[in-house]
Structures are given as structure tokens and as C-alpha cells.
Structure 1
Amino acid sequence: MNAALDWAAALDPRLVLLALLVALNLWATGITALSRAPRREKVLWVAVIFLCPIVGSVLWFVFGPKLWAERR
């Protein structure tokens, strides 16, 4: 158990934040691809998400296509 705690404590916080950002970008891209939005809008959102990773993901979360709203 101590080995796992030592490993977790030794992680660089920047690496953890980078991994979370990559996961958020991939999730946003996947949801965008599954939405019923027009292709042009999908391409635009994917470009915004990957060209401006932090701001793009936040903007997508607020204004992007909502997959859960379409399936009701």
C-alpha cells in the first residue's frame, strides 16, 4: 500500500492537469461527434476545442451541442 501512496505523491501536478485536460477534450469531441448538430458546426466545435483547449472546452460545455437534451 505504501508503494501506491508513494507513487501517487510523486506525480507531477502539471502532468495530472494535462491528463485531465486531454480527457476533457476527448470527451467533448466524442459528445460533439454523437450530436445531431450539422457537420459544419461539429467541425467548428472540434477546432475550437483543440485550438484553445482550456477555454474551448469551457465554451463547449456552456454553449456546445447537448447530446442529453436531444435524446429525451
Structure 2
Amino acid sequence: MNAALEWAAGLDTRWMLAALLVALNLWATWLIAFSGAPGREKVLWVTVIFLCPIVGPVLWFVLGPKRSMLES
């Protein structure tokens, strides 16, 4: 019985992490869609995000086009 409870607790954690990952990917895709990057770069970045769902958004936030402090 204890093993079943541990499995259920682990399942909840995995679902939460999966939901967080999906939200991160959607947020990064949204930011890419409305960024000032050229169209080809947008397609490339979205492809990277969907092929590498964990590393892709991190790469976008680090290497993607930056907004100027004066633009905001």
C-alpha cells in the first residue's frame, strides 16, 4: 500500500512539472511571435523550442533578441 501512495505522489509531481514545462514553452512561443525578430528567426526559434522543450526556452531567454530599456 505504501508503494502505491508513493507512486501517486510522484505522479502529481510529474504532472505539475509537465504543466510548468508546457506553460514555459507557450510563454516563450508567445514572446517569439511578438518579438522584433525577422520571420525566419522566429520559425527557427519556435522549432528549437519544440524540438528541445527544456533547453529551447532557456536558450531563447538567454540568446534571443533583447528589448532596449528605452522601448518599454
TM range (shorter): 0.7 to 0.9
Paired residue for 2:68?
69
Paired residue for 2:26?
26
More helix by share: 1
Q: Does the CA-based 8 Å contact 1:32-1:65 persist in structure 2?
A: no
Structure 1 segments unaligned to the other structure (5+ residues): 1-9
Structure 2 length normalisation: TM-score?
A: 0.76
The alignment of Structure 1 onto Structure 2 pairs a total of residues equal to 62
* Cα distance in 2, alignment partners of residues 69 and 14 from structure 1: 37
> Taking every aligned residue pair, what percent have the same amino acid on both sides?
71
- For the residue of structure 1 that corresponds to 2:36, the secondary structure is coil
Displacement of 1:61 in angstroms is: 1.1
Structure 1 length normalisation: TM-score?
A: 0.76
Amino acid of the residue matched to residue 69 of structure 1? Answer: S
Q: Does the CA-based 8 Å contact 1:45-1:60 persist in structure 2?
A: yes
Amino acid of the residue matched to residue 68 of structure 2? Answer: A
Displacement of 1:64 in angstroms is: 1.3
Structure 2 segments unaligned to the other structure (5+ residues): 1-8
* Stretches (4+) displaced over 2 A: 68-72
